[in-house]
Structure 1
Amino acid sequence: MPIRNSVILEPDRLHTLVERFMERPAFSFDIETFGPNRNVPTQNVANWMSLATDGIAVAIPFGHPNGDVLLSKATKKKNKSTGKFDPIPAVYDDPPEQMLPSEVFSILKPLFFAEDKIKIAHNATFDLISTAKYWGEIAPPQYSDTIVLQWLLDENMKQKGLKDLVKRYYKVDYDTENVGKCVEAHPFSKVGHYAFMDAKYTWLLWKKFQKRIHDQGLVNVRRLEEDVLGVLLDMGITGAPVDQLAMQELVRDMSARLVDIEADIYRAAGQQFNLNAPAQKAGVLYAPKKDGGQGLRPTKPTDGGKKKRESGQELEWKDYSTDADSLEKHENNAVVKKLLEYAEVSKLLDYPLSYLGIEGDPKKPCRIFDGRIHADFVQYGTVTGRFSCREPNLQNIPRPDTELGKRIRGLFVAPAGYKLVVADYGQIELVVLAHFIGRGDLYKGFHNGVDPHSATAAALMGVDPQEFMARVKSGDRTCIDFRQVAKGINFAVVYGAGPDKVASMAKISVKEAKRFMEMHQKLFPEIYRFKEEVVRVCRSRRPPYIRTLLGRKRRLPLILSQNNGLRMGAERQAVNSLIQGSAADLIKLAMIRLNNSLPDEIRLILSVHDELVVLAPEDRAEEAACLVKEAMLGEGIQKLLRVPLSSDVKIVDRWSEAK
């Protein structure tokens, strides 16, 4: 078959190929993996590598099990012990003789370790970490990632997979069977063609994106993302150490607690029902007391309920939502109180279960290897520039100011002889807001050492900020309550939340929340003028967009919508994206600065929103703390802002001890 001409089977051809690639400044590559942990780059096994550059594209097999002649088709056979049908894979003739992985990676090493060569992949963290185990180290920078470039060019695009982009830009569909999901199930030439096309189109996309990045003024933020990619590689290889025994104990405790809460719910409701069936919950909560319900007033229809209402149909109890927002409006009800507790514990139980996995369930594998979690921090997973995280998700770790949140964080622990150095930015989003405004009480407060929640609360109370802080420190209940109100209002300013959310956060009535929000608007007019200006500037551009501190674009076409709901949502996103996106710029810059300054014995292992976690030998923990502080607060980053940055740095044994 023609593809065989582009498949490299002999060492001499591979040596010649490397010489040709060494003449080029950049190349793309892609790796195919198999095995039970094929999606975990530190653990998977590779059996194909493909490479491309100007005028060249090849695929290199080193362990593909199949030839091209089908001897027997894939089928299924019933398992007598389980009663399920187990798959029986197709059988092919023998494949051509291939090089050993060690030989392939040895020949390729000079190319990958040439520091003047740009190494390009689509989802590069996966491919670079997958190859690192074969060399015993990560290939050095420079790096580029076509999925990240596409994200910088259009963060709103949903489908950014390689095959999706090839269909979009080249009208080519080269894989209708999802070959990469299980390469070992397919014949040799089919996988060779698939691997060849992956590398070829990654290269073509990279070439296509160069001018677009330049034309959209994204060169600086592209450099930021390509530099932070190197940090993610180190984090991914190092992993975060966890206490597996404590994790198993937590699962047992929380599972038992769920059983107790479930019994409490049934006692409070006077009946049993399916806690995971929203329709049954709605009946118990909203039906009249004479019919055995709680008689609560429903406030929010489900999506189905909205459609029924629009069509003029009368709504039933099951047509109303029982989500957390709906239940929190009735949190004094005994059944609701226990349902909220049940939901919280169930959600938190998901964390250790997602780490430990469920034995025998291939869809829920264990994510702990040699006592560490190697999570995938995704650069392109949000529209604002923040990281997302997967396999498992460590970005949704519970807040440290809750009992269960502390227990989850307590599972991340320094091994014997090591310490965790934990640092987070102080109120980074409000710092960014104050920087952009450049005046007013919020801005002055940062310069005078007053935290923004205290500055807001003091203004609402009409007292001096320093006096207010002293009263909070002395335990003045009124001041403490006002600070909670201020915290809710500041949250609303950044995220565009309404009085319902402020009321919930501050434990006050919606009426009181509205009153305080109106007071805030009068006391801090510069904030609201700034928000209006952000929206105005965004609307004036074609297409509409805002730019973050370091030049990241957030495109918001719906800000021109005639639909009030869509337009107002986009207006909120314009402000939030400017603030959150700029905060993301800063934390990524801090990570790069930190990683560049760390000696080999000290490693950055986690980045969760505005928080960094570093693993250091015990006798170098103080040194690590100084390096972290300099990376986050030093002149190279502080010069970007008109208000002072702050960071709280702690040296601990468990992550939970940092707050």
Structure 2
Amino acid sequence: AELGAPPAEGQGSLFDEAPAGPDHCKEASLLIPLSDALLAEMDRTDARLRELYDKIEEPMLKVLSRMEAAGVKVDLDALRTYADSLREQAAAREAEVRSLSGEPALNINSPKQIGEVLFEKLKLDPKARKPRKGNWPTDEKTLQELADSSPIIEAILDYRGLRKLLGTYIEPFPSYVSPRDGRVHTTFNQALTATGRLSSSNTNLQNIPIRSEQGREIRKAFVPGAPGSVIMSADYSQIELRIMAHLSGDEHLCTAFRQGVDVHAATAAKIFHVPVEEVSSDQRRIAKTANFGIMYGISAFGLSQNLGCSRSEASRLIDDYFRSFPSIRAWIDATLASARANGYVETLLGRRRYVPDVTSGNATVRSFAERNAVNAPIQGTSADIIKLAMVAVDRKLQEEGLGARMVLQIHDELLLEVPEAEIETVRTLLTDIMQGVIKLNVPLTVECNYGSNWLEAH
């Protein structure tokens, strides 16, 4: 697909006309009785669920409708220029792979041919055995394990990354840009995820890559749509770790956040029994991986994969972590016990996630449900907090008659289009509301910046 191609069928703007028919009218006629029945069921189940609906989910309807209608401006010329640059880089990497393989006619997009070159011709892994059925494995994990054996591996991985950026994120983009206003009007799915997080579709603007420099460059194309405006980003800092500290009541984590110290360095100091100032970069990296992994109920195997160590080393690290932070272990155990007893877990504000499989006789199924049970109160509370903040920010912008408007939410981050004359007003408004929207045992911290595009603002 080329940039600038006409919209594919079904990929037009939210403003494209859709004829109403008998089915639409029938569906609409069912909404009121269905709403009455569901609200009554909510009242019977738990008063906190009704409060969650009244204070967050119902007001969010208007917030999201305004955001979808506003859309976010995309600089297609910048995107085309960047696409051309990526194609040149991909072509250079493709030529490099062919040169290193000694196969000028090699089809780099053929896993079969790549496998034959790596394992049969170059013999990068002499111990490898070809599967009885199928081709040599050339997936990313396999290639990463061979990364030190030849520069051809890095060239292949780079090529694939560039082609994925182009094919998944850049080349399809113009088909989602409305010809009426040059904006992408994504659809925010308010009730699709099990944790309460928003998701985005047509097109998904929440999965723009940020891990690579090349991926981050895509954000340059997201610009203010109104003259004399900027893009402003307000991002919660380590909100899920802060929520874990609050829910578990762990004094070491809470103290680290209250004092504003590097929480990963503080964690490393506890695990490795060294002063904070003597924590090495590698120890901090390990602690950071453990901090985030524990929230997602990571196993010793999963941690070993993330850290590149043995399973026994990862198991010892997890044991050391829980010895250093016993309150977190106690909270996880209590959460799982509650999930088994009730069949669900709750966020701080009462949102439920049902996890019936925590009592499954199948160990794999049960383990997956246990990970969800541990993570849902953390990730779900984070979702509740930013939704609560969005409702409050939207209300304040309306009350103050400001021209600023929210255009995107990317999980822990809000993106706004702000007139230059309102920059400091909106910056203060955002920070005050987002940091004060709920009282936790640890402070919520928001990083708020602005620029001429999303990359500059982030």
TM range (shorter): 0.7 to 0.9
Deviations 1:265-309 (A, max 9, x none): 233344455444445544444x4x4x555337669xxxxxxxxxx
Counterpart CA distance in 2 for 1:298 and 1:535 is 41
After superposition, residues 542-581 of structure 1 pair within 5 angstroms as 544-581=343-380
Paired letter, 1:405: G
Paired letter, 2:16: N
Task: Tell me the equivalent position of 2:4.
Answer: none
Task: Tell me the equivalent position of 1:207.
Answer: 36
Report if the CA contact (8 A) 1:235-1:604 is conserved: yes
Aligned residue among 390, 405, 424 for 1:622: 424
Task: Tell me the equivalent position of 2:438.
Answer: 638
Report if the CA contact (8 A) 2:70-2:185 is conserved: yes
Deviations 1:563-615 (A, max 9, x none): 10110111011111111111111111111111111134010111101011111
% identical equivalent positions: 32
Counterpart CA distance in 1 for 2:100 and 2:178 is 38
Q: 1:485 to 1:394 in 2, by over 3 A?
A: same
Report if the CA contact (8 A) 1:243-1:411 is conserved: yes
Task: Tell me the equivalent position of 1:194.
Answer: 23
Structure 1 residue 330 corresponds to structure 2 residue 146 = yes
Task: Tell me the equivalent position of 2:260.
Answer: 449
Task: Tell me the equivalent position of 2:244.
Answer: 433
Q: 1:517 to 1:292 in 2, by over 3 A?
A: same
Q: 1:579 to 1:282 in 2, by over 3 A?
A: farther
Deviation at 1:383, TM superposition (A): 1.5
Counterpart CA distance in 1 for 2:102 and 2:192 is 45
Q: How many residue pairs get matched? A: 442
Report if the CA contact (8 A) 1:379-1:388 is conserved: yes
Report if the CA contact (8 A) 1:457-1:482 is conserved: yes
Report if the CA contact (8 A) 2:13-2:184 is conserved: no
Report if the CA contact (8 A) 1:242-1:371 is conserved: yes
User: Where does structure 2 lack aligned partners over 5 or more consecutive residues?
Assistant: 1-6
Structure 1 residue 219 corresponds to structure 2 residue 50 = yes
Task: Tell me the equivalent position of 2:3.
Answer: none
Counterpart CA distance in 1 for 2:270 and 2:137 is 38
Structure 1 residue 295 corresponds to structure 2 residue 125 = yes
Report if the CA contact (8 A) 1:228-1:592 is conserved: yes
After superposition, residues 161-310 of structure 1 pair within 5 angstroms as 191=21, 193-217=22-46, 218-223=49-54, 224-271=56-103, 273-285=106-118, 287=119, 289=120, 293-295=123-125
Report the 3-state secondary structure (helix = DSSP H, G, I; strand = E; otherwise coil) of the residue aligned with 2:223: coil
Report if the CA contact (8 A) 2:200-2:206 is conserved: yes
After superposition, residues 592-607 of structure 1 pair within 5 angstroms as 592-598=391-397, 599-607=401-409
Report the 3-state secondary structure (helix = DSSP H, G, I; strand = E; otherwise coil) of the residue aligned with 2:41: helix
Q: 1:548 to 1:319 in 2, by over 3 A?
A: farther
Counterpart CA distance in 2 for 1:274 and 1:464 is 54
State the TM-score, normalized to the length of structure 1: 0.62
Counterpart CA distance in 2 for 1:250 and 1:241 is 17
Q: 1:297 to 1:383 in 2, by over 3 A?
A: farther
Deviation at 1:378, TM superposition (A): 1.1
Structure 1 residue 44 corresponds to structure 2 residue 10 = no
| Larger RCO (CA within 8 A; separation ≥ 6) | 2
Task: Tell me the equivalent position of 1:404.
Answer: 214
Q: 1:258 to 1:463 in 2, by over 3 A?
A: same
Bigger Cα displacement from structure 2, 348-357 vs 641-650: 348-357
Counterpart CA distance in 1 for 2:291 and 2:299 is 11
Counterpart CA distance in 1 for 2:255 and 2:192 is 35
Counterpart CA distance in 2 for 1:502 and 1:253 is 36
Deviation at 1:354, TM superposition (A): 2.6
Report if the CA contact (8 A) 1:481-1:506 is conserved: no
Structure 1 residue 519 corresponds to structure 2 residue 320 = yes
Counterpart CA distance in 2 for 1:366 and 1:590 is 28
Report the 3-state secondary structure (helix = DSSP H, G, I; strand = E; otherwise coil) of the residue aligned with 2:171: helix
Deviation at 1:551, TM superposition (A): 1.2
Aligned residue among 376, 386, 389 for 2:187: 376
Paired letter, 1:263: A
Counterpart CA distance in 2 for 1:379 and 1:531 is 28
Task: Tell me the equivalent position of 2:174.
Answer: 356
Aligned residue among 567, 588, 613 for 2:415: 613
Q: 1:448 to 1:439 in 2, by over 3 A?
A: same
Bigger Cα displacement from structure 2, 560-569 vs 214-223: 214-223
Q: 1:652 to 1:558 in 2, by over 3 A?
A: same
Q: 1:276 to 1:563 in 2, by over 3 A?
A: farther
Task: Tell me the equivalent position of 2:383.
Answer: 584
Paired letter, 2:338: V
Report if the CA contact (8 A) 1:354-1:392 is conserved: no
Report the 3-state secondary structure (helix = DSSP H, G, I; strand = E; otherwise coil) of the residue aligned with 1:486: helix
Paired letter, 2:404: I
In our comparison, the structure showing a higher alpha carbon Rg is: 1
Paired letter, 2:417: L
Counterpart CA distance in 1 for 2:454 and 2:404 is 16
Deviation at 1:200, TM superposition (A): 2.6
Report if the CA contact (8 A) 2:186-2:202 is conserved: yes
Counterpart CA distance in 2 for 1:326 and 1:220 is 49
Counterpart CA distance in 2 for 1:451 and 1:482 is 13
Paired letter, 2:344: Y
Paired letter, 1:520: Y
Structure 1 residue 387 corresponds to structure 2 residue 198 = yes
Deviations 1:392-419 (A, max 9, x none): 11110112x5311320111112354112
Counterpart CA distance in 2 for 1:280 and 1:534 is 50
Report the 3-state secondary structure (helix = DSSP H, G, I; strand = E; otherwise coil) of the residue aligned with 2:243: helix
Q: 1:547 to 1:273 in 2, by over 3 A?
A: farther
Task: Tell me the equivalent position of 1:345.
Answer: 162
Counterpart CA distance in 1 for 2:198 and 2:335 is 24
Aligned residue among 331, 340, 350 for 1:539: 340
Report if the CA contact (8 A) 1:488-1:501 is conserved: no
Q: 1:538 to 1:263 in 2, by over 3 A?
A: same
Report if the CA contact (8 A) 2:232-2:450 is conserved: yes
Deviation at 1:421, TM superposition (A): 1.7
Report the 3-state secondary structure (helix = DSSP H, G, I; strand = E; otherwise coil) of the residue aligned with 1:616: strand
Counterpart CA distance in 2 for 1:456 and 1:369 is 51
Task: Tell me the equivalent position of 1:488.
Answer: 289
Paired letter, 1:597: K
Query: Aligned Cα RMSD in Å?
Result: 2.7
Task: Tell me the equivalent position of 1:151.
Answer: none
Report if the CA contact (8 A) 1:414-1:654 is conserved: yes
Task: Tell me the equivalent position of 1:106.
Answer: none
Report if the CA contact (8 A) 1:377-1:387 is conserved: yes
Q: 1:36 to 1:279 in 2, by over 3 A?
A: closer
Paired letter, 2:377: L
